[in-house]
Amino acid sequence: MKQENGTAAVEAARAGDEHAREELLASYLPLIYNVVGRALDGHADVDDVVQETMLRVLESLADLREPASFRSWLVAIAMNQVRRRWTTDRKAPVVGLDQAPERADRSADFVDLTILKLGLSGQRREVAAATRWLDEGDRSLLSLWWLEAAGEITRTELVAAVGIGSRHAAVRVQRMKEQLEAGRVVVRALAADPPCADLARLTATWDHEPCALWRKRISRHARRCAACSGHWNDLLPAEGLLAGLALLPLPSHLAPPAAPAPTAATAATTAAPAHHTSATSGTPHTHPLPNRLPRPRRVTKGATVAGTAALAVAVTAALWWWPGTPADRKAERKEEPKAARTVVKPSPTRHPTPTPTPT
């Protein structure tokens, strides 16, 4: 299903068409994965945020007023989930070294995946590597601008997702592009062969983790150094390098499950689907799987593999197992019975009727 012609599918999904919901969300899942993955720079929480975004879309689809704005609305939800995750991480108390804030997991580095999966080389490769040198806020903006430059979203959709005016967005994008250009020079300077002796002395205390502070120091050095100043030359515009670039493909654990070929044993089941009844509403659903999904456990430090495995189950379940419309699920939540308390009422005291005395 093409995203450009998805208005009819959005309307069908809002009306409760389960098949339309499945196809709609599956077709936009690669876009959301690229937005969140690049915004969080391969952090262990990428899978959780992708899942939370898709679940939020499922729950709120009936509230979407303009089907034509579905993609803008979807990307805005993804960015809200990214910002919510940042806020949660900042507020989380740090008790000991084992609970220190996590850095991006380089084994799942989104930059490395982009370079590898898309086969980037030359200046395209430098642009991808330079994104590591942006700070948190600019990296989230870059995740949207990258898709705009690649032709996946429009500037209007970028502005809607960021939640600011178009002029303010243009200023922020320009500043982000300047930092990205500085990051490209940093990548070149650090990879120079032979290396610059002055730069080696400057970076002797650097911990080899890209950050805004060292981007400024190294790029400032590159402007003043006779050996490194040439790195500023022949930088092609990043927009042209990213134009037409494909989305990073979904990892296998996020890909929709392939439908098995029908067999004689399953033909009867397909013709007469199993029914199950909601425990709360008593409404039958033509789906044999449960309509309640466990929330995935928050990924802890060093547990990225376990987190992606949990997401594989959770997102797949959200997209292909959850029967009923979002309105049905909201109603079921409201009707969920609370734990009942058995209250024993005291029996009324019975007074014996007096026997009449014979006269």
Check residue 233 and give its pLDDT: 94
3-state SS assignment for residue 48 = helix
Q: What's the rounded mean pLDDT across residues 197-213?
A: 95
Mean pLDDT of the chain: 74
Q: CATH code at 27?
A: 1.10.1740.10
Check residue 20 and give its pLDDT: 87
Tell me, yes or no, whether 208 lies in a domain: no
The pLDDT tens digits of the residues spanning 218-231 come to 999 999 999 999 99
Domain membership of residue 310 as a residue range: 1-90+251-257+303-328
3-state SS assignment for residue 226 = coil
Check residue 155 and give its pLDDT: 94
Tell me, yes or no, whether 241 lies in a domain: no
Q: Given pLDDT bands bounded at 50, 70 and 90, which one contains residue 263? A: low
Find where tokens 């068409």 sit. Answer: 17
Check residue 204 and give its pLDDT: 96
Check residue 2 and give its pLDDT: 43
Tell me, yes or no, whether 78 lies in a domain: yes
Tell me, yes or no, whether 265 lies in a domain: no
Q: What's the rounded mean pLDDT across residues 293-322?
A: 40
Q: What's the rounded mean pLDDT across residues 170-198?
A: 96
Supply 302's token pair.
Answer: 């060093």
Distances (CA, A) of 29 to 32, 57, 137, 248, 292: 5, 11, 23, 11, 21
pLDDT at 317 over 60: no
Check residue 335 and give its pLDDT: 46
How many domains would you assign to the chain? 1
Please report the DSSP string for 126-138 in residue order.
Answer: HHHHHGGGS-HHH
The pLDDT tens digits of the residues spanning 63-109 come to 888 888 899 999 999 999 998 887 765 554 544 444 444 444 444 57
> Which amino acid is present at 70?
F
Identify whether the C-beta of residue 47 lies closer than 8 Å to the C-beta of residue 65: no
Q: Which of 11-20, 40-49, 85-94, 176-185 has the lowest mean pLDDT?
A: 85-94
Instruction: Give the N- to C-terminal CA distance of the chain in Å, as an integer.
Output: 100
Tell me, yes or no, whether 77 lies in a domain: yes
Contacts of 167 (CB under 8 A, 6+ apart): none
Tell me, yes or no, whether 181 lies in a domain: no
Q: Given pLDDT bands bounded at 50, 70 and 90, which one contains residue 253? A: confident
Sign of CA dihedral 199, 105, 122, 245: negative
The pTM of this model reads: 0.67
Check residue 302 and give its pLDDT: 36
Q: Who has greater pLDDT, 129 or 359?
A: 129
Q: How far apart are CA 305 and CA 312, in angstroms?
A: 11
Q: How many degrees, rounded to 5, is the angle at CA 283 between CA 295 and CA 259?
A: 60
Tell me, yes or no, whether 104 lies in a domain: no
Q: How far apart are CA 53 and CA 77, in angstroms?
A: 6
Check residue 316 and give its pLDDT: 46
HEC states along 262-319? CCHHHHHHHHCCCCEECCCCCCEECCCCCCCCCCCCCCCCCCHHHHHHHHHHHHHHHH
